[in-house]
């Protein structure tokens, strides 16, 4: 099995570098495009150094999903990203996998067109469900911090398939648990923990997810490391 991979990265290069390392070991798969929401990041510099196409798009941050005007503005801002992906496929061939390590919520046409090919790296345990909503408890940008503030002594990375619900798609892999040894009320301790988790849980979790999605291992889902 061979394929083209597109990565979305807001800063990096941790998860982007993990995808590149996977492709170095499996040269039938190639990262062909990087999409970012800001220029001059470690990920965009790494991509440029490896002659990978880079596209930068200004995408709004937090939006109110219950405000139709806010949602419409966000989805309009995402249309140039759809055009970037369409242009790639026209010039370079089909995109087989899109890896999101992206601090933005995607919605609208980009999910309609490409959602089935997307996987997302999320820095919290999506196997923990809220008993009231029966949905994953630690979704969204602040999921890791909420997990820690709830008193969880460990956290772990999740990789999941992308659907229209925020971080609600089917789980592919759960990374190793990482012990939190700081003050839950201290944002700096949470940031330090998140950075540690990038290496200790993100990397093995994403690597295994790539092996599964790219046909290197059996598709018994989700895998818990």
Residuewise pLDDT in 10s, the chain (225 residues): 689 999 999 999 999 999 999 999 999 999 999 999 999 999 999 999 999 999 999 887 656 667 777 778 878 889 999 999 999 999 999 999 999 998 888 889 999 999 999 999 999 999 999 988 889 999 998 999 999 999 999 999 999 999 999 999 999 999 999 999 999 999 999 999 999 999 999 999 999 999 999 987 776 668 888
- 97-113 per-position pLDDT tens digit: 999 998 888 889 999 99
Rounded Cα distance, 170 and 162, in Å: 8
Rounded to a whole number, what is the distance in angstroms from the first to the last CA of the chain? Answer: 25
Q: Which of 211, 74, 102 is nearest to 167 (CA)?
A: 102
Rounded Cα distance, 102 and 208, in Å: 19
Find out whether 16 and 47 touch, Cβ atoms under 8 Å: yes
Q: Please give the pLDDT value at position 216.
A: 78
Tell me the domains of the chain and their CATH numbers.
Answer: 1-122 (3.40.50.170), 123-158+167-225 (no CATH)
Other C-beta atoms closer than 10 Å to the C-beta of 13 total: 20
Residue 199 CA, chain-centre distance (Å), reads: 15
């Amino acid at each position: 099995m061979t394929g083209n991979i597109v990565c979305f990265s807001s800063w990096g290069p941790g998860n982007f570098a993990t995808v590149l390392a996977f492709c170095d070991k499996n040269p039938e798969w190639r990262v062909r495009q990087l999409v970012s929401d800001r220029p001059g990041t470690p990920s965009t510099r790494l991509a440029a150094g490896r002659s990978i196409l880079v596209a930068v798009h200004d995408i709004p941050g937090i939006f109110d999903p219950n405000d139709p005007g806010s949602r419409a503005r966000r989805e309009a801002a995402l249309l140039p990203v759809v055009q970037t992906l369409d242009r790639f496929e026209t010039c370079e061939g089909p995109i087989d996998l899109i890896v999101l390590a992206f601090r933005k919520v995607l919605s609208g046409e980009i999910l309609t067109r490409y959602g089935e090919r997307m996987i997302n790296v999320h820095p919290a345990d999506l196997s923990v469900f809220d008993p009231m909503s029966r949905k994953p408890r630690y979704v969204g940008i602040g999921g890791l911090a909420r997990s820690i503030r709830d008193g969880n002594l460990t956290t772990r990375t999740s990789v999941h398939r992308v659907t229209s619900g925020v971080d609600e798609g089917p789980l592919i892999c759960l990374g190793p648990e990482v012990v939190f040894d700081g003050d839950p009320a201290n944002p700096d301790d949470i940031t330090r923990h998140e950075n540690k988790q990038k290496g200790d849980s993100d990397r093995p979790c994403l690597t295994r997810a790539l092996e599964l999605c790219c046909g290197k291992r059996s598709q018994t889902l989700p895998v818990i490391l």
